[in-house]
Chains A and B, each alone.
Chain A
Amino acid sequence: MSRTYILLYWSLVSLLLASSCRKKETADGDLSQYAYAPTPYVIKKPAHFPEMVIPNDNPMTVQGVALGRMLFYDPILSADSTMSCSSCHLPQGNFTDNRPVSAGIDGQVGKRSSMSLLNIGFNRNPFFWDGRAASLEEQALSPVEDPIEMHNTWANALEDLRNHPVYPRMFREAFGMNNKSEITKEHAAKAIAQFERIMVSSGTSKYDRFMATRDGNIFDEEELDGYLMFVDEGQSIGLPDAECAHCHGGPLATTNNFFNNGLQAAATLDDFKDKGQGAVLNAPQKNGFFRAPSLINIALSAPYFHDGRASSLDEVLDHYNSGGKPSPNKDVLLHVLGLPPNPQGLTQYQRQALIKFLHTMTDTAAINNPELQNPFK
């Protein structure tokens, strides 16, 4: 941890302590001296996005979001205080870490690439690449104790949080407990989930503006050709179907559904090296299925696929252009792309147009949103 970082951190802590009017929790952990008056937080979203559904047991509040932001960026949750949620979900990487697979505090690497959190609050399907968490709150619980991530125990993390000079008050302000002994891992997960729900597109990308207005003039000719291939609507002008929108359509550029996109060759359903959703559901037919990620800011999210195997969008197109690797349950919409006279793949221009279209989904305003940045910097 750099000296500057430590200095900034403790400056923030001191500031928060000073603003508490010198009140301190009593030795027995009583927090009732602090006000509990949660202020509803209204999520800002582009008009063409669906309404986000907020769980009844975790309403959005200004105080909850503020706490969640702190917990998201603070390495306090990891066993050696070196890793936070943001270690794998950095704003500048579209809330990924731009690594093929992420490394935990012990240097162990996992087998999956970190998923972007942008617009994650709109997902109504299970979370993670394999769908092993039913909710954002449940998802937020697991990295703390995962040996290849933060490798801590929640008991240790809660002890650190309860003994912290600032957090008990923030938990009280967000959730209203009367004593710091009542702070639970579920409260921490709820706060983190609240913060993650405000990670929303700005609506200013070319793609957003097109989706909101349907004005094709927003795109240049090449981008428009890319869009027509993306949504399988260019055949009448000689552009092949690229079959993208089946999984990545709509304002969120994802269905959040699970598919076998042909990344693994498997002779039988049991032969997948990484079974993905099939292992979670114990459903062989879903072996090799992974969640389709959002393509918003995809140009900023390299490397790609659940295992980070593709370092560029060009490599991603190589994969889809080939029709993918054979397996019994490979999605039937994967096939060698192209139209006669080029049925063996997209032309160089078509590839270029698709990639250029994907760049229209870049939303730098979202990742630079001041409310989403590290509060300790």
Chain B
Amino acid sequence: MKSSFLLLSAAILLSVTGCDKNNADTTLLTLSFTPTFSAKQIDSKEFYQVGDASCQFTRYTLFLSDLALVAEDNSEYMLSEVEFLNFNEDTDATTLMETIKRSYRVPNGKYKALKLGYGLKAQLNAKSPADFNSDHVLAKESGQYWDSWRSYIFMKIEGKGSSAAHPSINMAYHCGADPVYTTDTKNLTFDLNGTESNTDFVIDLARIFEENGEWFDVGGTPFTHSVNDLKIGEKFMRRLSKAVQVK
């Protein structure tokens, strides 16, 4: 009886020590993403000046692929293969687009960069909602899938507004298809030592609609929902690397 008690105690001690070691070896890293327009968190009731048009943003969604930390020895630690950021999942009384947080347990150490893909990498985009369990994000978000073009919609920006030339603008930019997938590397230092770590990103939609002082004409081209013309999709997805910045 006495020896059983000692064995049990030893086992508990070992398991507790093991847990401590495990926690001590890793850090909970949280990345947050907030949609903004020129540094202001987007409020879907507010109007923002997009070139000569005054616009509200009512929907913003974005897929991310292959989020990975790059260690100092250039090895990579994969955080997530796919994330779906739906900034419209309102669960409160505000009209602000949500800040979305994703947390990952990461081995301690020094990392020098964060890699991420905007959209879905080709291997994932080759699949369809039927290839996943119904609670997988790529099945559940079937509204982000184009059946006819066999592609997910990587990013949706929707809203409405007006300009002098266009008194009523309904805008919907649905960007997808393999050619518009882009990757990005953020040179950031992550010194993870067991203490929870947070890095906050903004996604500045102004940077998507404006480049080198030239604004996209939302009144003239309020809509893209086709892979037949990828110009807008390519432009907007490429600009994400500038739009996504540490807060």
Contact = CB atoms under 8 A, between A and B. Distances in A.
A352 interface: no
A257 B140 CA distance: 9
B110 interface: no
A53 B134 CA distance: 6
B135 interface: yes
Interface stretch (A31-39, A69-77, A281-289): A281-289
A255 interface: yes
Interface stretch (B67-75, B85-93, B185-193): B85-93
B226 A251 contact: no
Interface in A99-148: 122-125
Give the interface centre of B90, B92, B141, B145 by most chain A CB atoms within 10 Å: B90
B129 A251 contact: yes
A285 B147 contact: no
Q: Is the interface of A mostly helix, strand, loop or mixed?
A: loop
A330 to B, nearest CB: 9
Interface in A242-273: 245-247, 249-252, 254-257
Contacts of B130: 47-50, 251
Contacts of B109: none
B49 interface: no
Given A285-B44, A285-B90, A333 B142 contact: no
Contacts of B184: none
B206 interface: no
B90 A233 contact: no
B58 A232 contact: no
A211 B143 contact: no
Contact of A333 (B95, B132, B136, B172): B172
Nearest to B43: A285
Contact of A122 (B90, B134, B143, B171): B134
A18 interface: no
Contacts of B132: 50-51
Interface string B122-160: 000000011111111001111101111100000000111
Interface residues of A, number: 41
A250 B129 contact: yes
B238 interface: no
Given A50-B139, A241-B225, A281-B91, A250 B147 contact: yes
Give the interface centre of A52, A124, A284 by most chain B CB atoms within 10 Å: A124
Interface residues of B, number: 36
Interface in A49-75: 49-53
A49 B171 CA distance: 32
Contact of B133 (A47, A53, A328, A332): A53
B148 A231 contact: yes
A211 B147 contact: yes
B160 A332 contact: yes
Contacts of B212: none
A265 B57 CA distance: 20
Contacts of A311: none
Nearest to B171: A332
Contact of A53 (B135, B145, B171, B172): B135
B4 interface: no
Nearest to B138: A50
Contacts of A48: 130
A124 B84 CA distance: 15
B3 interface: no
B172 A332 contact: yes
B170 interface: yes
Contacts of B59: 332
A185 interface: no
Interface in B195-219: none
Nearest to A286: B90
A204 to B, nearest CB: 17
A236 interface: yes
Contacts of B135: 53, 124
A49 B90 CA distance: 29
B143 A332 contact: no
A333 B158 contact: yes
A283 B92 contact: yes
Interface in A316-360: 328-329, 331-333, 335
B87 to A, nearest CB: 12
Cβ-closest 9 pairs across A and B: A255-B143, A250-B142, A283-B90, A50-B139, A53-B135, A231-B148, A332-B170, A50-B134, A51-B133
16 contacts: A50-B131, A50-B139, A124-B135, A124-B140, A125-B140, A231-B147, A232-B225, A233-B149, A250-B129, A251-B129, A254-B142, A255-B141, A282-B92, A283-B93, A332-B58, A332-B171
Interface of B: 44-45, 58-59, 90-93, 95, 129-136, 139-143, 145-149, 158-160, 170-172, 225-226, 228
Interface of A: 47-53, 122-125, 211, 231-233, 235-236, 241, 245-247, 249-252, 254-257, 281-286, 328-329, 331-333, 335
Given A50-B130, A51-B139, 15 more contacts: A47-B130, A48-B130, A50-B133, A50-B134, A124-B140, A231-B146, A245-B148, A250-B142, A250-B143, A255-B142, A281-B90, A283-B91, A285-B90, A328-B45, A335-B170
